[in-house]
């Protein structure tokens, strides 16, 4: 029986394909790390390499052995969950031989602002400052005790803690309003903000006291028909009350 | 003037992670898929009048395909790690599968089809040319120097077969890019099953328009009067593709509007503020409606050929502007609003650097330089015209 003639092109391409495939398989064998895929989709040896790098942190438990007074003080305060080395840096060497190296004692403002600089994403009530506006030039530890932080004095204004809101309100059409015009703030909020929370307006009618058609307020204030404006949405779904122009 | 951001933005949303380079990536792959599908019209669907653009379309597709991964390399850094997704494939990740989609399309579709189509020419060049060129073409023959009638018939059949495989592959290549965006379920601007289909049709539009444009330009530089029958047919296909593409985008738009999910307000805000220029003006009015009107008037109006060509020329340029805006609106638009659905941010384009405008201009010009080289090596015009 005579076999059908295989075209020259197919033979050439087949050889090329074989070369490419063999090249690929060899390259794959050569370039894939031997331990790849042992535990998952990564190089298993990487785990040992990372382990071999040595420990830099000692862990809070080792600090207690010598500094129990500070630990006990800290355990009662707001910083009870902040590990020592977060502010003092890795102290592995110090724990091994206390006489040789000492951990850093942060005096500048850079460490505290890691947590306390203003950031929108931080939870409400978390003490935050805008570093450039908050006693510029002073070190944090001049007024605050880092191991048991409490306010050096009762805040005089809301902006002391709610600086970003105050800064926005300051340049908005609501600048002349006191915070307490809209928020009901118990006096205790100043000293214990988490236990005594500030109340926010809940209904459209609250804004309507100034902005409704029939409101008894100065004529230059923008008016809306409270019944139809914005449908079922509340005022602050569209307007940011601390800077109501921003979302127009 | 807009403020940098308005409303409520999460801290990790101030800065956009996917910039101009990621706008260019779907634009380039779209041109590849579109150009190839245009080529297949001639080959598979036997639209003989498109013969003059067949080879040009293939070379265009190849030139843009070579540049397509470069924006990704530039964006990610470490191009030396690119092949690792081939050595250690992660089949659970759509992004990691790009290497295979790309390799399949480049090696098994485009290069093969071009080789089969040009084989006779390559063999002739390897016999006619002198010096280094002779050896270069000899290597390109891969040793297959048989140009008997039977061998050429086989080439033709093989080419046809590859085109048939090529159409779903081209759909896969660009559908895949749309799939990547469409499957980001946390982003209401992207997350839509229509995304791969809309991407695909906009790809076909951009590819046809690009080859159309290149065909007119190359004819101009070769002092040839363009074949009007071919141009008219191209205009018709471009028009149909644009109508389908525009209808699909409107369908997507109406569907979102009717569904009115919680994101609809911020998306409305996005379109009215941040994307007004690039979506309403650039994409819809300048890049879609004007060229559709231009092509309808030029194709079906009673105009002299010269005027007709001028209108085709302008329309195809506008189509490119429109499709580039489409990519911009998808990629950048999808990152301009906060996941809180309460605020908008802003994208500032850099000039220098790996993600800058200069790099993007370079990446957009590079395919044309590559195409010029290919045209020099493998002239796409009939043999008689080349001489």
DSSP structure class, residue A111? T
Provide the percentage of residues in chain B whose pLDDT is more than 90.
63
At A81, is the pLDDT very low, low, confident or very high (cuts 50, 70, 90)? Answer: very high
DSSP structure class, residue B109? I
Classify residue A95 as exposed, middle or buried by CB count within 10 Å of its CB (0-12, 13-18, 19+): buried
- Rounded distance between C-alpha atoms, residue A160 and residue A156, angstroms: 7
At B116, is the pLDDT very low, low, confident or very high (cuts 50, 70, 90)? Answer: very high
Among B residues 135-174, those touching chain A with beta carbons less than 8 Å apart: 141-146, 151, 154-155, 158
Name B344's bridge partners. B6, B337
Q: Which of B7, B88, B146 sits opposite A246 (nearest CB)?
A: B7
Q: Average pLDDT, whole number, for chain A?
A: 88
For residue B92, the tally of other CB atoms under 10 A from its CB is: 8
B65 versus A124: which is more confidently predicted?
A: B65
Classify residue A93 as exposed, middle or buried by CB count within 10 Å of its CB (0-12, 13-18, 19+): middle
> Taking residues B147-161, what's their average pLDDT?
91
Phi, psi (degrees; rounded to nearest 5) at A212 = -75, 155
As a residue count, chain A comes to 248
The pLDDT assigned to A201 comes to: 92
Q: Residue B263 pLDDT more than 60? A: yes
Classify residue B152 as exposed, middle or buried by CB count within 10 Å of its CB (0-12, 13-18, 19+): middle
* Per-residue model confidence as pLDDT tens digits over B351-367: 888 889 999 999 999 99
At A247, is the pLDDT very low, low, confident or very high (cuts 50, 70, 90)? Answer: very low
- Rounded distance between C-alpha atoms, residue B106 and residue B110, angstroms: 5
Neighbouring residues of B289: CB distance < 8 A, sequence distance ≥ 6? none
Q: Which of B326, B52, B40 is nearest to B161 (CA)?
A: B40
The pLDDT assigned to B319 comes to: 96
**Domain boundaries, given as residue ranges, for chain A:** 178-248
- Rounded distance between C-alpha atoms, residue B99 and residue B94, angstroms: 10
CA B120 from centroid of its chain's CA atoms: 29
The pLDDT assigned to A248 comes to: 45
Q: Residue B369 pLDDT more than 90? A: yes
Q: Residue B146 pLDDT more than 90? A: no
Q: Residue B4 pLDDT more than 80? A: no
Q: How far is CA B379 from CA A213, B355, B383, in A?
A: 76, 34, 8
Q: Residue A19 pLDDT more than 90? A: yes
Name the closest residue on chain A to residue B3, using Cα atoms.
A246
Q: Residue B251 pLDDT more than 80? A: yes
The pLDDT assigned to A6 comes to: 85
- pTM equals 0.78
- Rounded distance between C-alpha atoms, residue A13 and residue A126, angstroms: 68
Q: Are B270 and B334 in contact (CB under 8 A)?
A: no
- Rounded distance between C-alpha atoms, residue B72 and residue B25, angstroms: 7
The pLDDT assigned to B55 comes to: 93
Q: Average pLDDT, whole number, for chain B?
A: 90
Query: What number is the ipTM of this complex?
Result: 0.81
Of A15-24, A160-169, B38-47, the least confident: A160-169
Given phi > 0 = left and psi -120 to 50 = alpha, else beta, which region is B93? beta
Q: Cα angle vertex B76, ends B75, B77, to 5°?
A: 100
Neighbouring residues of B374: CB distance < 8 A, sequence distance ≥ 6? B59, B62, B63
* Per-residue model confidence as pLDDT tens digits over B189-220: 999 999 999 999 999 999 999 999 999 999 99
Name the closest residue on chain A to residue B91, using Cα atoms.
A41
Among A residues 39-98, those touching chain B with beta carbons less than 8 Å apart: 41
Q: Which of B63, B323, B384 is nearest to B214 (CA)?
A: B63
Q: Residue A208 pLDDT more than 50? A: yes
Residues of A in contact with B3 (CB under 8 A): 246
The pLDDT assigned to A1 comes to: 64
Q: For the stretch B376-387, what's the b/e string if a residue is b when 16 or more beta carbons lie within 10 angstroms of its beta carbon?
A: eebbbbeeeeee
> Taking residues A78-105, what's their average pLDDT?
91
Q: Which of B6, B10, B154 sits opposite A121 (nearest CB)?
A: B10
Best mutation target among A6, A12, A114 (most B Cβ atoms within 10 Å) is A12
The pLDDT assigned to A119 comes to: 75
Q: Residue B100 pLDDT more than 70? A: yes
Instruction: Say if the Cβ atoms of A240 and B7 lie within 8 Å.
Output: yes
Q: Residue B2 pLDDT more than 50? A: no
Q: Residue B1 pLDDT more than 50? A: no
- Rounded distance between C-alpha atoms, residue A207 and residue A192, angstroms: 28
β strands within chain B, DSSP E: 6-7, 343-344
Q: Residue B387 pLDDT more than 60? A: no
* Per-residue model confidence as pLDDT tens digits over B58-84: 999 999 999 999 999 999 988 888 888
Q: Residue B3 pLDDT more than 60? A: no
Name A43's bridge partners. A36
| DSSP string computed for B18-58 | S-HHHHHHHHHHHHHHHHHHHHHHHHTS--GGGHHHHHHHH
């Amino acid at each position: 029986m005579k076999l059908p003639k295989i075209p020259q092109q197919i033979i050439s391409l087949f050889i090329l394909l074989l070369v490419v495939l063999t090249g690929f398989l060899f390259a794959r064998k050569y370039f894939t790390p031997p331990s790849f895929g042992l535990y998952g989709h990564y190089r298993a040896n990487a785990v040992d390499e990372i382990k071999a790098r040595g420990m830099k942190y000692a862990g809070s438990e080792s600090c207690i052995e010598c500094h129990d007074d500070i630990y006990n003080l800290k355990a009662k305060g707001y910083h009870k969950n902040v590990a020592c080395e977060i502010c003092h840096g890795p102290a592995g060497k110090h724990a091994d031989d206390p006489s040789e190296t000492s951990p850093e004692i942060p005096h500048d403002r850079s460490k505290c602002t890691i947590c306390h600089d203003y950031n929108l994403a931080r939870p409400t009530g978390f003490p935050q400052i805008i570093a450039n506006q908050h006693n510029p030039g002073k070190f944090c530890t001049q007024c605050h005790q880092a191991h048991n932080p409490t306010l050096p004095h009762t805040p005089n204004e809301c902006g002391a803690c709610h600086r970003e809101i105050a800064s926005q309100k300051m340049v908005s059409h609501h600048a002349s309003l006191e915070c307490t015009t809209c928020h009901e703030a118990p006096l205790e909020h100043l000293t214990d903000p988490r236990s005594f929370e500030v109340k926010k307006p809940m209904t459209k009618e609250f804004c309507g006291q100034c902005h409704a058609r029939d409101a008894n307020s100065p004529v230059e204030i923008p008016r809306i028909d409270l019944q139809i404006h914005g449908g079922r949405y509340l005022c602050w779904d569209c307007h940011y009350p601390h800077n109501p122009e921003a979302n127009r | 003037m807009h403020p940098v951001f308005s409303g409520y933005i999460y801290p990790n949303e101030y800065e956009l992670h996917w910039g101009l380079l990621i706008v260019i990536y779907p634009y380039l792959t779209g041109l590849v898929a579109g150009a190839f599908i245009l080529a297949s019209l001639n080959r598979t669907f036997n639209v003989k009048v498109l013969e003059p653009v067949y080879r040009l379309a293939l070379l265009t597709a190849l030139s843009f395909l070579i540049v397509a991964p470069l924006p990704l390399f530039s964006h990610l850094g470490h191009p030396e790690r690119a092949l690792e997704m081939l050595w250690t494939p992660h089949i659970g990740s759509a992004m990691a599968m790009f290497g295979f989609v790309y390799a399949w399309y480049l090696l098994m579709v485009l290069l093969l089809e071009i080789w089969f189509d040009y084989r006779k020419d390559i063999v002739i060049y390897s016999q006619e040319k002198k010096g280094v060129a002779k050896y270069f073409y000899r290597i390109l023959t891969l040793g297959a120097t048989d140009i008997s009638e039977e061998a050429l018939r086989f080439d033709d059949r093989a080419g046809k077969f590859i085109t048939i495989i090529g159409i779903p592959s081209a759909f896969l290549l660009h559908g895949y890019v749309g799939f990547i965006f469409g499957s980001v379920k946390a982003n209401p601007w992207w997350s839509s099953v229509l995304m791969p289909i809309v991407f695909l049709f906009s790809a076909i539009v951009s590819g046809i328009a690009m080859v159309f444009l290149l065909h007119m330009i190359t004819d101009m530089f070769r002092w040839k009067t363009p074949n009007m029958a071919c141009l008219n047919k191209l205009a018709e296909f471009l028009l149909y593709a644009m109508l389908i593409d525009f209808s699909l985008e409107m369908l997507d738009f109406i569907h979102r509007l009717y569904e009115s999910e919680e994101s609809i307000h911020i998306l409305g805000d996005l379109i009215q503020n941040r994307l007004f220029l690039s979506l309403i003006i650039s994409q819809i009015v300048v890049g879609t409606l004007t060229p559709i009107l231009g092509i309808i008037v030029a194709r079906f109006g009673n105009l002299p050929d010269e005027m007709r060509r001028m209108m085709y020329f302008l329309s195809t340029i506008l189509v490119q502007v429109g499709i580039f805006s489409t990519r911009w609106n998808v990629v950048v638009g999808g990152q301009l609003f906060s996941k809180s659905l309460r605020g908008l941010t802003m994208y500032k384009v850099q000039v220098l650097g790996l993600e800058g405008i200069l790099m993007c201009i370079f990446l957009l010009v590079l395919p044309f330089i590559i195409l010029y080289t290919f045209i020099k090596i493998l002239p796409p015009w009939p043999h008689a015209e080349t001489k």
